[in-house]
Structure 1
Protein backbone atom coordinates (compact mmCIF):
# COMPACT_ATOMS: atom_id res chain seq x y z
CA UNK A 1 0.00 0.00 0.00
CA UNK A 2 2.70 2.51 0.96
CA UNK A 3 4.69 1.55 -2.15
CA UNK A 4 1.84 2.62 -4.46
CA UNK A 5 1.40 5.83 -2.48
CA UNK A 6 5.10 6.69 -2.82
CA UNK A 7 5.03 5.68 -6.48
CA UNK A 8 2.08 7.97 -7.15
CA UNK A 9 3.94 10.94 -5.61
CA UNK A 10 7.04 10.11 -7.63
CA UNK A 11 5.01 9.93 -10.83
CA UNK A 12 3.39 13.27 -9.99
CA UNK A 13 6.82 14.88 -9.58
CA UNK A 14 7.99 13.44 -12.89
CA UNK A 15 4.84 14.67 -14.65
CA UNK A 16 5.29 18.17 -13.20
CA UNK A 17 8.90 18.19 -14.41
CA UNK A 18 7.85 17.15 -17.92
CA UNK A 19 5.08 19.75 -18.04
CA UNK A 20 7.51 22.43 -16.86
CA UNK A 21 10.02 21.47 -19.55
CA UNK A 22 7.29 21.46 -22.19
CA UNK A 23 6.14 24.93 -21.17
CA UNK A 24 9.73 26.22 -21.21
CA UNK A 25 10.30 24.73 -24.67
CA UNK A 26 7.07 26.29 -25.90
CA UNK A 27 8.03 29.71 -24.52
CA UNK A 28 11.45 29.45 -26.12
CA UNK A 29 9.87 28.59 -29.47
CA UNK A 30 7.39 31.46 -29.18
CA UNK A 31 10.18 33.88 -28.30
CA UNK A 32 12.13 32.73 -31.38
CA UNK A 33 9.05 33.23 -33.58
CA UNK A 34 8.43 36.68 -32.15
CA UNK A 35 12.03 37.75 -32.77
CA UNK A 36 11.80 36.44 -36.32
CA UNK A 37 8.38 37.88 -37.17
CA UNK A 38 8.17 41.14 -35.23
CA UNK A 39 5.85 42.86 -37.72
CA UNK A 40 3.32 40.02 -37.57
CA UNK A 41 3.62 40.01 -33.77
CA UNK A 42 2.94 43.72 -33.76
CA UNK A 43 -0.23 43.23 -35.79
CA UNK A 44 -1.45 40.36 -33.63
CA UNK A 45 -0.96 42.30 -30.41
CA UNK A 46 -2.52 45.40 -31.98
CA UNK A 47 -5.63 43.42 -32.88
CA UNK A 48 -5.78 41.72 -29.48
CA UNK A 49 -5.86 45.16 -27.87
CA UNK A 50 -6.06 48.48 -29.68
CA UNK A 51 -3.11 50.21 -28.00
CA UNK A 52 0.13 48.92 -26.55
CA UNK A 53 0.09 50.02 -22.91
CA UNK A 54 2.22 52.71 -21.43
CA UNK A 55 3.51 51.08 -18.25
CA UNK A 56 5.05 52.93 -15.35
CA UNK A 57 5.63 50.63 -12.40
CA UNK A 58 5.02 53.37 -9.85
CA UNK A 59 1.88 54.85 -11.40
CA UNK A 60 -1.38 54.54 -9.45
CA UNK A 61 -3.09 53.03 -12.50
CA UNK A 62 -0.55 50.21 -12.74
CA UNK A 63 -0.67 49.50 -8.99
CA UNK A 64 -4.47 49.56 -9.03
CA UNK A 65 -4.57 47.23 -12.04
CA UNK A 66 -2.29 44.75 -10.24
CA UNK A 67 -4.59 44.82 -7.22
CA UNK A 68 -7.63 44.37 -9.45
CA UNK A 69 -6.02 41.37 -11.18
CA UNK A 70 -5.67 39.68 -7.80
CA UNK A 71 -9.27 40.58 -6.91
CA UNK A 72 -10.50 39.30 -10.29
CA UNK A 73 -8.70 35.98 -9.82
CA UNK A 74 -10.08 35.67 -6.28
CA UNK A 75 -13.63 36.29 -7.47
CA UNK A 76 -13.23 33.86 -10.36
CA UNK A 77 -11.89 31.14 -8.06
CA UNK A 78 -14.72 31.82 -5.61
CA UNK A 79 -17.33 31.60 -8.38
CA UNK A 80 -15.95 28.36 -9.79
CA UNK A 81 -15.78 26.89 -6.28
CA UNK A 82 -19.51 27.52 -5.82
CA UNK A 83 -20.72 26.60 -9.31
CA UNK A 84 -19.65 23.37 -10.94
CA UNK A 85 -18.08 23.57 -14.38
CA UNK A 86 -15.82 21.00 -16.04
CA UNK A 87 -12.14 21.70 -15.54
CA UNK A 88 -11.62 22.28 -19.28
CA UNK A 89 -14.18 25.11 -19.26
CA UNK A 90 -12.61 26.72 -16.20
CA UNK A 91 -9.18 26.49 -17.81
CA UNK A 92 -10.56 27.98 -21.03
CA UNK A 93 -12.00 30.93 -19.08
CA UNK A 94 -8.73 31.63 -17.30
CA UNK A 95 -6.70 31.19 -20.48
CA UNK A 96 -8.71 33.38 -22.83
CA UNK A 97 -10.28 35.90 -20.47
CA UNK A 98 -7.54 36.44 -17.88
CA UNK A 99 -4.13 35.31 -19.10
CA UNK A 100 -3.92 35.72 -22.89
CA UNK A 101 -2.98 39.40 -23.13
CA UNK A 102 -0.52 39.47 -20.19
CA UNK A 103 1.08 36.34 -21.63
CA UNK A 104 1.38 38.04 -25.03
CA UNK A 105 3.13 41.02 -23.42
CA UNK A 106 5.48 38.72 -21.52
CA UNK A 107 6.48 36.76 -24.61
CA UNK A 108 6.77 39.92 -26.73
CA UNK A 109 9.58 41.23 -24.51
CA UNK A 110 11.99 39.19 -26.61
CA UNK A 111 11.34 41.25 -29.72
CA UNK A 112 14.10 43.73 -30.45
CA UNK A 113 14.39 47.23 -31.84
CA UNK A 114 11.13 48.42 -30.27
CA UNK A 115 9.03 47.45 -33.30
CA UNK A 116 5.95 46.46 -31.34
CA UNK A 117 3.03 48.90 -31.35
CA UNK A 118 3.37 51.84 -29.04
CA UNK A 119 1.37 54.98 -28.37
CA UNK A 120 4.17 56.86 -26.62
CA UNK A 121 7.40 58.36 -27.84
CA UNK A 122 10.41 56.03 -27.93
CA UNK A 123 12.32 56.14 -24.68
CA UNK A 124 9.34 57.22 -22.56
CA UNK A 125 8.16 53.85 -21.32
CA UNK A 126 9.51 50.78 -19.56
CA UNK A 127 9.52 48.59 -22.66
CA UNK A 128 11.57 50.93 -24.84
CA UNK A 129 13.97 51.62 -21.96
CA UNK A 130 14.35 47.86 -21.59
CA UNK A 131 15.40 47.54 -25.23
CA UNK A 132 17.74 50.54 -25.31
CA UNK A 133 19.65 49.80 -22.10
CA UNK A 134 21.78 47.01 -23.51
CA UNK A 135 24.47 47.27 -26.14
CA UNK A 136 23.36 47.18 -29.75
CA UNK A 137 23.63 43.81 -31.43
CA UNK A 138 23.24 41.94 -28.17
CA UNK A 139 20.22 39.72 -27.66
CA UNK A 140 17.93 40.80 -24.89
CA UNK A 141 14.84 39.51 -23.25
CA UNK A 142 13.58 36.11 -22.38
CA UNK A 143 15.76 34.38 -25.00
CA UNK A 144 18.88 35.29 -23.04
CA UNK A 145 17.40 33.69 -19.94
CA UNK A 146 16.37 30.55 -21.83
CA UNK A 147 19.77 30.32 -23.56
CA UNK A 148 21.53 30.61 -20.21
CA UNK A 149 19.34 27.89 -18.70
CA UNK A 150 19.87 25.69 -21.75
CA UNK A 151 23.63 26.05 -21.52
CA UNK A 152 23.57 25.42 -17.77
CA UNK A 153 21.51 22.25 -18.11
CA UNK A 154 22.74 20.97 -21.48
CA UNK A 155 26.16 22.46 -22.17
CA UNK A 156 27.22 22.26 -25.80
CA UNK A 157 30.07 19.97 -26.64
CA UNK A 158 33.37 21.53 -27.61
CA UNK A 159 35.31 20.07 -30.51
CA UNK A 160 38.82 19.06 -29.56
CA UNK A 161 41.38 19.20 -32.34
Structure 2
Protein backbone atom coordinates (compact mmCIF):
# COMPACT_ATOMS: atom_id res chain seq x y z
CA UNK A 1 0.00 0.00 0.00
CA UNK A 2 1.28 3.43 -0.98
CA UNK A 3 -1.64 5.84 -0.94
CA UNK A 4 -3.31 4.83 2.33
CA UNK A 5 -0.24 5.59 4.53
CA UNK A 6 -0.03 9.03 2.90
CA UNK A 7 -3.72 9.55 3.63
CA UNK A 8 -3.05 8.56 7.25
CA UNK A 9 -0.21 11.06 7.59
CA UNK A 10 -2.31 13.80 5.98
CA UNK A 11 -5.24 13.07 8.26
CA UNK A 12 -2.99 13.17 11.32
CA UNK A 13 -1.61 16.57 10.31
CA UNK A 14 -5.07 17.99 9.63
CA UNK A 15 -6.43 16.56 12.90
CA UNK A 16 -3.52 17.99 14.88
CA UNK A 17 -4.09 21.38 13.25
CA UNK A 18 -7.78 21.41 14.15
CA UNK A 19 -7.01 20.31 17.71
CA UNK A 20 -4.43 23.08 18.08
CA UNK A 21 -6.87 25.69 16.79
CA UNK A 22 -9.59 24.42 19.14
CA UNK A 23 -7.28 24.65 22.17
CA UNK A 24 -6.07 28.12 21.16
CA UNK A 25 -9.65 29.33 20.68
CA UNK A 26 -10.65 27.99 24.10
CA UNK A 27 -7.67 29.64 25.81
CA UNK A 28 -8.40 32.91 24.01
CA UNK A 29 -11.96 32.81 25.31
CA UNK A 30 -10.76 32.04 28.84
CA UNK A 31 -8.37 34.99 28.67
CA UNK A 32 -11.23 37.33 27.78
CA UNK A 33 -13.39 35.77 30.49
CA UNK A 34 -10.72 36.41 33.13
CA UNK A 35 -10.43 40.04 32.02
CA UNK A 36 -14.16 40.50 32.64
CA UNK A 37 -14.25 38.65 35.99
CA UNK A 38 -10.88 39.33 37.59
CA UNK A 39 -12.11 39.11 41.20
CA UNK A 40 -13.68 35.68 40.70
CA UNK A 41 -10.62 34.48 38.77
CA UNK A 42 -8.27 35.63 41.55
CA UNK A 43 -10.29 33.77 44.20
CA UNK A 44 -10.46 30.65 42.05
CA UNK A 45 -6.71 30.61 41.33
CA UNK A 46 -5.84 31.24 44.98
CA UNK A 47 -8.03 28.34 46.13
CA UNK A 48 -6.61 26.18 43.34
CA UNK A 49 -3.04 26.82 44.53
CA UNK A 50 -3.90 25.94 48.13
CA UNK A 51 -5.75 22.80 46.98
CA UNK A 52 -2.76 21.56 44.98
CA UNK A 53 -0.46 22.18 47.94
CA UNK A 54 -2.74 20.04 50.13
CA UNK A 55 -2.84 17.37 47.41
CA UNK A 56 0.95 17.25 47.29
CA UNK A 57 1.12 16.79 51.06
CA UNK A 58 -1.38 13.92 50.85
CA UNK A 59 0.66 12.27 48.11
CA UNK A 60 3.78 12.59 50.25
CA UNK A 61 2.37 11.19 53.49
CA UNK A 62 -0.09 8.63 52.06
CA UNK A 63 1.50 7.42 48.81
CA UNK A 64 5.11 7.90 49.87
CA UNK A 65 6.17 10.55 47.36
CA UNK A 66 9.70 11.93 48.00
CA UNK A 67 9.72 14.56 50.72
CA UNK A 68 12.23 16.99 49.20
CA UNK A 69 10.55 16.96 45.78
CA UNK A 70 7.21 17.55 47.48
CA UNK A 71 8.77 20.42 49.42
CA UNK A 72 10.04 21.86 46.14
CA UNK A 73 6.56 21.62 44.63
CA UNK A 74 4.96 23.37 47.62
CA UNK A 75 7.64 26.08 47.57
CA UNK A 76 6.97 26.61 43.85
CA UNK A 77 3.25 27.08 44.48
CA UNK A 78 4.05 29.59 47.23
CA UNK A 79 6.01 31.55 44.62
CA UNK A 80 3.09 31.23 42.21
CA UNK A 81 0.85 32.59 44.95
CA UNK A 82 3.08 35.66 45.18
CA UNK A 83 2.06 36.59 41.63
CA UNK A 84 -1.50 37.04 42.90
CA UNK A 85 -0.64 40.18 44.87
CA UNK A 86 -1.27 42.44 41.84
CA UNK A 87 -3.43 40.06 39.85
CA UNK A 88 -4.06 40.18 36.93
CA UNK A 89 -1.20 42.56 36.15
CA UNK A 90 2.43 41.52 36.05
CA UNK A 91 5.78 42.95 35.02
CA UNK A 92 7.86 40.63 32.88
CA UNK A 93 10.95 41.73 34.83
CA UNK A 94 9.39 40.98 38.23
CA UNK A 95 11.66 38.57 40.17
CA UNK A 96 8.62 36.56 41.30
CA UNK A 97 7.48 36.11 37.70
CA UNK A 98 10.96 35.12 36.53
CA UNK A 99 11.30 32.71 39.47
CA UNK A 100 7.94 31.17 38.59
CA UNK A 101 9.07 30.54 35.01
CA UNK A 102 12.29 28.91 36.23
CA UNK A 103 10.48 26.77 38.81
CA UNK A 104 8.11 25.39 36.18
CA UNK A 105 11.08 24.01 34.24
CA UNK A 106 12.82 22.75 37.38
CA UNK A 107 9.70 20.94 38.62
CA UNK A 108 9.12 19.35 35.25
CA UNK A 109 12.70 18.09 35.09
CA UNK A 110 12.97 16.69 38.63
CA UNK A 111 9.59 14.92 38.55
CA UNK A 112 10.30 13.49 35.11
CA UNK A 113 13.61 12.12 36.40
CA UNK A 114 11.87 10.75 39.50
CA UNK A 115 9.20 8.80 37.61
CA UNK A 116 11.70 7.58 34.99
CA UNK A 117 14.12 6.33 37.65
CA UNK A 118 11.30 4.73 39.64
CA UNK A 119 10.06 2.75 36.66
CA UNK A 120 13.58 1.78 35.63
CA UNK A 121 14.29 0.31 39.08
CA UNK A 122 10.94 -1.50 39.12
CA UNK A 123 11.59 -3.24 35.79
CA UNK A 124 15.10 -4.30 36.85
CA UNK A 125 13.70 -6.55 39.59
CA UNK A 126 11.32 -8.57 37.38
CA UNK A 127 11.66 -10.64 34.27
CA UNK A 128 10.91 -9.41 30.77
CA UNK A 129 7.46 -11.02 30.67
CA UNK A 130 6.28 -9.78 34.07
CA UNK A 131 4.66 -6.49 34.97
CA UNK A 132 6.04 -4.88 38.13
CA UNK A 133 3.61 -4.01 40.87
CA UNK A 134 3.09 -0.68 42.60
CA UNK A 135 4.32 1.55 39.77
CA UNK A 136 2.26 4.48 38.47
CA UNK A 137 0.60 4.10 35.10
CA UNK A 138 0.98 6.55 32.24
CA UNK A 139 -2.45 8.03 33.04
CA UNK A 140 -1.49 8.62 36.67
CA UNK A 141 1.83 10.22 35.74
CA UNK A 142 0.22 12.43 33.10
CA UNK A 143 -2.50 13.44 35.57
CA UNK A 144 0.09 14.37 38.19
CA UNK A 145 2.01 16.51 35.71
CA UNK A 146 -1.17 18.13 34.47
CA UNK A 147 -2.59 18.97 37.91
CA UNK A 148 0.42 19.45 40.19
CA UNK A 149 3.10 20.73 37.80
CA UNK A 150 1.50 22.49 34.81
CA UNK A 151 -2.02 23.58 35.80
CA UNK A 152 -1.28 26.62 37.98
CA UNK A 153 1.56 28.09 35.82
CA UNK A 154 -0.51 27.61 32.69
CA UNK A 155 -3.57 29.19 34.34
CA UNK A 156 -1.44 32.15 35.44
CA UNK A 157 -0.05 32.53 31.92
CA UNK A 158 -3.55 32.68 30.48
CA UNK A 159 -4.89 34.98 33.22
CA UNK A 160 -2.12 37.52 33.82
CA UNK A 161 -1.99 40.73 31.82
CA UNK A 162 1.12 41.94 30.08
CA UNK A 163 0.99 45.57 31.22
CA UNK A 164 0.06 47.60 34.27
CA UNK A 165 -3.30 49.31 34.62
CA UNK A 166 -2.26 52.94 35.02
CA UNK A 167 -5.13 55.41 35.32
CA UNK A 168 -4.35 58.72 33.57
CA UNK A 169 -4.36 61.80 35.78
CA UNK A 170 -5.15 65.43 35.00
CA UNK A 171 -2.71 66.70 32.40
CA UNK A 172 -0.90 63.36 32.21
CA UNK A 173 -1.61 60.71 29.59
CA UNK A 174 0.25 57.42 29.38
CA UNK A 175 0.62 55.54 26.17
CA UNK A 176 -0.92 52.09 26.44
CA UNK A 177 -2.67 52.93 29.72
CA UNK A 178 -6.36 53.18 30.51
CA UNK A 179 -8.46 55.47 28.37
CA UNK A 180 -12.05 56.57 28.23
CA UNK A 181 -14.46 54.57 26.11
CA UNK A 182 -17.35 55.92 24.08
CA UNK A 183 -19.67 56.03 27.10
CA UNK A 184 -17.31 58.13 29.19
CA UNK A 185 -16.17 55.18 31.31
CA UNK A 186 -12.74 53.80 31.92
CA UNK A 187 -11.35 51.11 29.69
CA UNK A 188 -8.44 49.03 30.88
CA UNK A 189 -5.15 49.21 29.10
CA UNK A 190 -3.28 46.11 28.06
CA UNK A 191 -4.67 42.62 27.87
CA UNK A 192 -4.02 39.05 28.80
CA UNK A 193 -0.60 37.69 28.00
CA UNK A 194 -2.00 34.82 25.95
CA UNK A 195 -4.45 37.12 24.17
CA UNK A 196 -1.68 39.61 23.42
CA UNK A 197 0.52 36.82 22.07
CA UNK A 198 -2.25 35.51 19.80
CA UNK A 199 -3.07 39.01 18.55
CA UNK A 200 0.61 39.60 17.83
CA UNK A 201 0.90 36.38 15.83
CA UNK A 202 -2.25 37.19 13.86
CA UNK A 203 -0.95 40.70 13.19
CA UNK A 204 2.35 39.27 11.96
CA UNK A 205 0.54 36.93 9.57
CA UNK A 206 -1.56 39.88 8.35
CA UNK A 207 1.55 41.93 7.61
CA UNK A 208 3.24 38.97 5.92
CA UNK A 209 0.21 38.34 3.69
CA UNK A 210 0.07 42.03 2.79
CA UNK A 211 3.73 41.96 1.78
CA UNK A 212 3.18 39.07 -0.65
CA UNK A 213 0.19 40.80 -2.22
CA UNK A 214 -2.66 39.05 -0.42
CA UNK A 215 -5.48 41.28 0.73
CA UNK A 216 -7.82 40.86 3.62
CA UNK A 217 -11.49 40.20 2.83
CA UNK A 218 -12.55 43.66 4.13
CA UNK A 219 -9.92 45.34 1.90
CA UNK A 220 -11.45 43.82 -1.24
CA UNK A 221 -14.81 45.56 -0.74
TM-score (norm 1): 0.65
Q: Equivalences for 1:24-63 in 2 at 5 Å?
A: 24-50=24-50, 52-53=81-82, 56=95, 63=102
* CA–CA distance in structure 2, aligned partners of residues 62 and 145 of structure 1: 17
Q: After the TM superposition, which parts of structure 1 deviate over 6 Å for at least 4 consecutive aligned residues?
A: 57-62
Superposition deviation, residue 159 in structure 1? 8.2
Task: Confirm or deny: 8 A CA contact 1:34 1:41 kept in the other structure.
Answer: yes
Flag the 1:110–1:65 CA change in 2: closer, same or farther, 3 A: closer
Q: Equivalences for 1:58-137 in 2 at 5 Å?
A: 63=102, 66-77=105-116, 79=118, 83=135, 85=137, 88-110=139-161, 135-137=176-178
Q: 1:146 aligns with which of 198, 206, 214?
A: 198
Task: Confirm or deny: 8 A CA contact 1:35 1:111 kept in the other structure.
Answer: no
Paired residues, number: 141
Q: In structure 2, what is the equivalent of residue 122 of structure 1?
A: none
- What is the SS of the residue equivalent to 1:148? helix
Flag the 1:40–1:27 CA change in 2: closer, same or farther, 3 A: same
Flag the 1:35–1:112 CA change in 2: closer, same or farther, 3 A: farther
Structure 1: gaps spanning 5 or more residues: 115-132
Task: Confirm or deny: 8 A CA contact 1:31 1:107 kept in the other structure.
Answer: yes
* CA–CA distance in structure 1, aligned partners of residues 25 and 100 of structure 2: 34
